[in-house]
Structure 1
Amino acid sequence: MSMEIVDALLQGQRGRRLLWEFAIASEEESLPEYSQHPLHEAMYYASTKIDDLQRQRRASADPIIGTVQVWAQKLAESLERTELFDMKPHLLQEALENSVDSAMYWQPPYGQEIVLASPILRVQLERIAKHIAASKQIDYWFDPLDVATQHRVNFDPTGIVDPATDKKRTGLESLIAWKDHVLRTEARDARENQSRPLGNFSGVWWSAPNMYLEETCGQFSDGQPIGLSCVEDGFGWEKATTTMVDIPRSAQVLEISSAEQWVKLCQDHGIEVTAQKRHDWYRVTGRDGAWVIPDWLAVARKYDGVHLSIGAYLALAGECMSVDAKFATLIAGWDPDKTYWFIDDVRESEHSQDWKCLDAHSNDAHWVIDEDSSR
């Protein structure tokens, strides 16, 4: 299991970002607050320079390549001197949260993501991955769905309409509506976007089946539901209620744990989304070509739900995966350890908990139980 975890953390941009966040946390733990932080400073200058070059849209990629090599070497040298602290669950959780929060699949990768993908940093990132894996503290991040610890998370939309809170449709009705929406959007965008310059349009960029379907998540080792703090493109909610749910023991859940599984889904039950994803996913991956995602209505004929573990998320989210000679695919807009349910018999238990987010809209944001709630 340890080497599987190491490989997964190194494979994906979300995994590499987690490794970097842990390294930064180790540096902060080891140095006085007001002293120089070489890792943090080097990455700041590297990412700023790369982001500036990307915004200039130069015809040649050579300046970016050269900048990445120079700064990756400096970061590798700093990482080599960084002492890695003993595992603390809250540091791992914060590193995961920061990685999820930085996921954006409608624009080019940040300079940080580009630098972290450099082969020059491979040895030092692998050192961090082995250090984390050896602790055994994230083994459960790679486990299949635990039906005994599933939570429904309902955020206080604070005036923002949140379609995920509308559960009036059945699972089948939701899937039919989802597929109809995908087909209509594809036809419309095929008509309207052909003349648009590549990358000059943004639309529906996610590939998760998140149109009114029931969603659940597992929990961290301290019992906090993962879906409270690990949300791609969140709305900055400050209050939430989580409820334990009862999952039928007979439920057939599809586990997404490898690129091969996702690709096989697209091969067996694919639906083309080139027109609606082409512009966004070109900015994310640099690939100009045809795109496909799983047809969740077809998948639901065999399965009751589909689960993406934290480990699979770290390895696969945002990665361009080839399906065949024509099509590629992308996992986007799918939070770690989230399960989408196609069935209707997912029932709430009597155990609910109110939460509030302290220091919301800052780097120190964190969720705590709301003791003042009237619940």
Structure 2
Amino acid sequence: MEISNALLQGQRGRRLLWEFAVASEAELIPEQNPHPLFEGMFYASYQLEKVRGDGVVMFGLGADDGHKTSVSVDEIAELLELTQLAPVTEKLLISSLNISVNAARYWQEPDGIDTLLDSALLRPQLLRIAEHLAESGQLEPWFGPLDRNAQYRVKFEMPEEEDNTRPVPRTGLESLLTWKEHVIVAEARAAKSSRKSAIGSSSGEWWSAPSLFLDPTCGQFTNGQPVGLSCVEDAFGWERASTILVDIPNSARVLEISSAEQWVNLCHDYCIEVTEQKRHDWYHFTGRDGAWVIPDWLAVSRKYDAVHLSIGAYLALAGRSLTVNDTYATLIAGWDPDTTYWFIDTLRETEHGQDWTCLDVNSEDEHWVRTEKSAS
């Protein structure tokens, strides 16, 4: 998959490109000076969401004038073309990726920025950014297969009352059986509601990954930080976490999802229908009112031990309505970048653990730092 084209194909990839451009503007223009690119998109996305009826509110100094400010997609394109791009650094890439992941929301319409970035008028400018990033060579590891030597489990510190509700650990097979039973029951319950229209105010389970039933692993950035610390869709604002290195068996059969065709073929070969339980949320997100399927992970486990979605594949595929056949489509949703779901029980945690603390939590400056272990 060509990196620049992959970034343009996906909603999350386009958001990464946009955030890199905004970060470039912030780095190259003094803070006290106007930032026309950031400000232009702020007003354009606000007006779009306001017209759409999203219930957005603008307040504070300059709000009266801001309500009247209109910025077109053509103007955004001109601003993007004029924006000087900063040298590519891992810090800027990770920050842009984190913001893109945090903006994903499959239970309602995409936010104003994601909606505007889908405009064909912005493709030439976004392509310039994509080529800038691709030429740096720093994105190549993001499109690679599972790194078997650097797989981590991330355990976020939960409030005590939530921690007590965690399910009892199961084997991989037990987890998959529970997952499939849950999907079947949820589909039957949703069908009983007899909702004739996909338009409504209720929401259901919008994810297609078995995220509540299997214990995943993630890789790490070149700076040593496990990807799963910061790149979490619909995160809960965790402030503390621990990570531990996991031994991966050499014999493990890992299915790599690196293209739309691979995910679609997976749905062809091992599918389970989820139309009734996903239709409402995925209609609002994609605009498609039709039948949906996702992979049957229990069936997949008969051939594979795990499924891995790289960062690059996530940027290209997450949130795209992918056609399976004339009747069904599918969606990758709730599957964090560089996450691998394991169906086997032979993974072993090593003694290489690390504690982490999140600084500037719930802001665009949010980042994780290693916590020094106290002396015993």
TM-score between the two structures when normalised by the length of structure 1 = 0.93
- Which consecutive residues of structure 2, in runs of 5 or more, have no partner in the other structure? 56-69
Q: Structure 1 residues 41 and 209, CA, compared in 2 at 3 Å: closer, same or farther?
A: same
Matched, 1:250 2:251: yes
Contact 1:356–1:369 at 8 Å: present in 2 too? yes
TM-fit CA distance, 1:200: 2.6
Matches within 5 A, 1:1-375: 4-55=2-53, 71-159=72-160, 161=162, 166=167, 168-194=169-195, 198-371=199-372, 373=374
Contact 1:175–1:296 at 8 Å: present in 2 too? yes
Aligned mates of 1:105, 1:188 — CA distance in 2:
21
Residue type of the alignment partner of 1:108: E
Secondary structure of the structure 2 residue equivalent to 1:354: strand
Aligned mates of 2:204, 2:339 — CA distance in 1:
23
Contact 1:157–1:237 at 8 Å: present in 2 too? yes
With 190-199 and 299-308 compared, the bigger mean Cα shift is at 190-199
Contact 1:25–1:91 at 8 Å: present in 2 too? yes
Contact 1:167–1:213 at 8 Å: present in 2 too? no
Deviations 1:117-158 (A, max 9, x none): 111111110000000000001100000001100000000012
Secondary structure of the structure 2 residue equivalent to 1:242: strand
Residue type of the alignment partner of 1:5: I
Residue type of the alignment partner of 1:8: A
Residue type of the alignment partner of 2:147: D
Contact 1:278–1:289 at 8 Å: present in 2 too? yes
Residue type of the alignment partner of 2:40: A
TM-fit CA distance, 1:309: 0.2
Q: Structure 1 residues 10 and 338, CA, compared in 2 at 3 Å: closer, same or farther?
A: same
Aligned mates of 2:217, 2:91 — CA distance in 1:
22
Contact 1:199–1:282 at 8 Å: present in 2 too? no
Aligned mates of 1:289, 1:145 — CA distance in 2:
34
Q: Structure 1 residues 202 and 337, CA, compared in 2 at 3 Å: closer, same or farther?
A: same
Contact 2:198–2:289 at 8 Å: present in 1 too? no
Secondary structure of the structure 2 residue equivalent to 1:161: helix
Secondary structure of the structure 1 residue equivalent to 2:320: coil
Identity among equivalent positions (%) equals 60
Deviations 1:56-104 (A, max 9, x none): 79xxxxxxxxxxx962211111111111111111000000000000000
Secondary structure of the structure 2 residue equivalent to 1:348: strand
TM-fit CA distance, 1:373: 4.4
Aligned mates of 2:208, 2:165 — CA distance in 1:
15
Q: Structure 1 residues 305 and 111, CA, compared in 2 at 3 Å: closer, same or farther?
A: same
Contact 1:106–1:281 at 8 Å: present in 2 too? yes
Residue type of the alignment partner of 2:51: L
Aligned mates of 1:193, 1:153 — CA distance in 2:
40
Secondary structure of the structure 2 residue equivalent to 1:97: helix
TM-score between the two structures when normalised by the length of structure 2 = 0.93
Residue type of the alignment partner of 1:256: I
Q: Structure 1 residues 179 and 162, CA, compared in 2 at 3 Å: closer, same or farther?
A: farther
Contact 1:167–1:214 at 8 Å: present in 2 too? no
Deviations 1:239-292 (A, max 9, x none): 000000000011000001011111111111110000000100001001111000
With 207-216 and 317-326 compared, the bigger mean Cα shift is at 207-216
Aligned mates of 1:141, 1:164 — CA distance in 2:
35
Aligned mates of 1:148, 1:371 — CA distance in 2:
24
When the two structures are aligned, how many residues end up with a matched partner? 362
Aligned mates of 1:295, 1:26 — CA distance in 2:
42
Residue type of the alignment partner of 2:130: A
- Which consecutive residues of structure 1, in runs of 5 or more, have no partner in the other structure? 58-68
TM-fit CA distance, 1:360: 1.3
Deviations 1:308-333 (A, max 9, x none): 00000000001111111111110000
Contact 2:41–2:71 at 8 Å: present in 1 too? no
